[in-house]
A and B are shown apart, each in its own frame.
Chain A
Amino acid sequence: MTKFLATLLATSAAVAVMSASAIAAEMPKKIGYVTNYATHEWYQNVIKGMQDRAQQLGIELEVRDANLDVNKQVSAAEDFMSRGVDVLIITPVNEEGVVPLVRRAKEEGLPLVLEGNPVKGMTTMVAICDYDTGYHAGVEAGKYAKGHLGGVAKVMNVGLPLLSATVLRSNGFMDGLKTEIPDATMVHDLDGGGNPDRALEISAAALAQNSDINIIYGINDSSSQGGLQAWKASGRSQDGLLVVGTGGEGLGFINMMNTEPSYQIEAAMFPEKVGFTAIDAAVKLFNDEEVPQHIVSPTTPMIGSDGWKQYYSVDGTTRTINWDAVNAVQPAEQCMKTAADL
């Protein structure tokens, strides 16, 4: 019996070692990532997710920031190419601006993964479904309105009409909301610029024009925050108000969910998971595996003041993702609507 166990253990160990070396042999040694705006909380957490996954897989990851400058982005990507990275990941500053890079990477046989935005000629892109993200948050907002707001839904959308992604979120939110409350109306459709001070100023004027709303929807956390702060600055009570944010970009939404009674729903987009998935996609491309053109990164609404605790923990000024919970969120097979549907 002892001899049998010893043989079994030795065989298992040998198989494990062989598997490990096989996996190691298939890993790219170095991945270069050119982000578009590393100072934004969203991208900081995308990078964090990439770093976590790269470390797990024993891959060296180098990150460069284009700082919203397409020329800088092209130059950083070309530098990575000339230094011979095994895979390149890019978050395009401008879809048109990186088309030559996509072409050159194909010519040189360099695997290229895009994050966030599609580019003509791309092999694959890792991104969330913006419409779906808004839609599912809208459904939950409708359920909340039925239970707590007397079945009435009058929305102030603190949006950003400049970007198709954020328009899709707003459209998805209203469509999802209407599945629960068909009479839901959008009272204000605002351009909050995606930043809190602008969102606050615009929302304050809109509320003065017509304050008969009971739901504030923000296309990102800054927008929902600006809308809510305008509501508070006008001296209104948060009773009978629902605030829905989008992104789950940093600590801001956690603070608001903890302290603001109306902030009940956050459409989490898990930036860390986007980074994690981008590294997995890079590995697949490196191994010549088939990948879909759009690899969907999952999103889900987080509900109630404790909703975020399932996915994140916070220690001081650092938040840590709960990978088991986030990896358990199933992504959509394909998006309900995309920019092409606008």
Chain B
Amino acid sequence: MSEITQPAKSGPVAGRLANNSQIVLLALLVVLCIGISLSAAQFYSVENVIAILRQCSLVLIVGAGMTMLLIAGEVDLSVGASLAFSGCVAMDVTNKTGSVFLGALAGILFGGLVGLFNGLVVTRLKVNSLIATIATMMILQGGVFLYTREAVQNKHQQPAFTDISTGYLGPIPLPVIIAAAVFACAYVALRYTTLGRYIYAVGANAKAARLSGRRPEQLKLLVFVVTGLLAGLTGLILASLMNTGQPTAGRGFELTVIAAVILGGTSLLGGRGTLLGTLLGVLILKVIDNGIIILRWDQNLQMIVPGVVIVLATYLDLVRRRADAR
């Protein structure tokens, strides 16, 4: 992350590319957009751009939290299961109370509680976050079927609920507005506040941060809760988009989010990363996803691409670290 780590001034081509990753990503995004547009003019239709942005918004909202979490040196693999459960809670509470506000609040808070649980397990019980959040994912995937044996149907039929995902503010879909607001808040917090610098410091060297009088556990707990709240918010939007609370939704969503975040240059080892990179990572993955459909390519590629991206981005991260060490 450029905020705390100076890029290497020299080194092999891969190292230089890695250190200018955002420019590379932006160039890649432009090339992708131009390439797909030349092959299929529908790609840059307003409708398709809106479809891409709507899909990006879901990944970006959770991606903002995940970026902070990875920078702090932790990870959350339970976000997919959490958003499915949150969506069920949001729909169920709206059905029972008739209040979209209470339903939305319940869904988001549920996500926050999952984040709090993850944070406590990691910071108090000292369980590795990879293991802890896989365990939470399993608990949630099983638990949601104790909560509801089937998809929670929309019984309230309140337009405000579906408007959360399908409504517009001017020409822009509401989920995109929500994602932009989340992104802006996270960007400011990470870039311009003490809290943001603290997150980088803890991820780069938790011991040093502790010796300088900071309390990494509290900070990590906070970031887990924020990520959980954002997963809950995404669950709410997804439930609104599908018009049901789907217990099976979000399978593999966590991998898409992580792929986008590390493609954006955030290190799996902590201490490095930017939200701008995450935004570019999300856009690239979703443009590729969309392009595969638009170009009528084999849809199995949609599963393969994030996997390849994870491998490449992790490799680039290693290259970048080696370059920094020189």
Contacts and interface: CB of A to CB of B under 8 A. Distances in A.
B153 A208 contact: no
Contact of B48 (A197, A209, A255): A209
A251 B48 contact: no
Q: How large is the interface on B (under 10, 10 to 19, 20 to 34, 35 or more residues)?
A: 35 or more
Interface in B107-166: 145, 149-151, 153-155, 157, 162, 165-166
B80 to A, nearest CB: 10
Interface stretch (A83-91, A123-131, A198-206, A333-341): A198-206
Contacts of B246: 195-197, 222
Nearest to A235: B166
A208 B48 contact: yes
B285 to A, nearest CB: 12
Interface string B9-44: 000000000000000000000000000000010100
A209 B150 contact: no
Interface stretch (A95-103, A224-232, A276-284): A224-232
A237 interface: no
Contact of B42 (A210, A226, A250): A210
Nearest to B157: A259
A46 B48 CA distance: 40
A322 B283 CA distance: 50
Interface residues of A, number: 33
A52 interface: no
B51 A208 contact: yes
Interface in B231-277: 238, 241-244, 246-251
A229 B290 CA distance: 17
Contacts, number: 96
Given A205-B294, A209-B40, A225-B242, A196 B150 contact: no
B10 to A, nearest CB: 43
B242 A205 contact: no
Nearest to B149: A44
Given A204-B54, A205-B289, A191 B153 contact: no
B293 A209 contact: yes
B2 interface: no
| Residues of A contacting B: mostly | helix
Contacts of B238: 197
B242 A208 contact: no
Contacts of B162: 232
B249 A195 contact: yes
B45 interface: yes
B299 A196 contact: no
Given A207-B47, A208-B48, A233-B166, A201 B294 contact: no
A39 to B, nearest CB: 5
B86 interface: no
Given A39-B149, A195-B251, A234-B50, 7 more contacts: A200-B241, A201-B289, A207-B51, A226-B242, A235-B166, A251-B153, A252-B151
Interface of B: 40, 42, 45, 47-48, 50-52, 54-55, 145, 149-151, 153-155, 157, 162, 165-166, 238, 241-244, 246-251, 289-290, 293-294, 296, 299-300
9 contacts: A190-B299, A195-B248, A195-B249, A197-B242, A204-B54, A205-B52, A209-B296, A234-B51, A252-B150
